[in-house]
């Protein structure tokens, strides 16, 4: 940073204090085979007033749940298939982001993509 202020210093101290207290935390995977598994689901046009679909996903790293979401989609889908496609696209993007994060941390996943799709 070119011109740090006292606000930056306060924020940096807050982050360092947080990291100091979570040093013993982590993901504990019991299995020797670690893979990314993703589950996604969609509820097509569940609300009659806005007709938007709700989509949700769970992403597991081995047996550990590392990411999840459940929210309304930004678009109005014309069919259950289209709503399912949007849900799968969102889930795939999140799985790919986690996979790239693992690669950058020099951790190799045996099965990088294994999304399981439930409608």
The pLDDT value given to residue 61: 81
Name the pTM for this structure: 0.62
- As a whole number of angstroms, the distance between CA 66 and CA 92 comes to 14
Over the stretch 93-112, which tens digit does the pLDDT of each residue have?
Answer: 998 888 888 777 756 555 55
Whether 119 has a pLDDT exceeding 50, the answer reads no
pLDDT of residue 96: 87
Q: Dihedrals φ, ψ of 56, to 5°?
A: -145, 155
Q: Write the CA distances from 96 to 6, 53, 56, 86, 89, integer angstroms.
A: 37, 23, 16, 15, 11
């Amino acid at each position: 940073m070119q011109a740090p202020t006292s606000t930056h210093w306060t924020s940096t101290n807050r982050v360092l204090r947080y990291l100091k207290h979570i040093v013993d935390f982590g993901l504990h995977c019991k299995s020797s085979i670690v893979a990314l598994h993703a589950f996604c689901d969609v509820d097509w046009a569940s609300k009659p007033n806005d007709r938007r679909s709700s989509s949700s996903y769970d992403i597991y790293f081995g047996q550990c749940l590392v990411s999840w979401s459940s929210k309304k989609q930004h678009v109005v889908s014309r069919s259950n298939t289209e709503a399912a496609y949007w849900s799968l696209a969102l889930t795939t993007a999140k799985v790919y982001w986690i996979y790239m994060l693992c690669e950058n941390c020099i951790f190799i996943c045996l099965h990088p993509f294994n999304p399981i799709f439930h409608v």
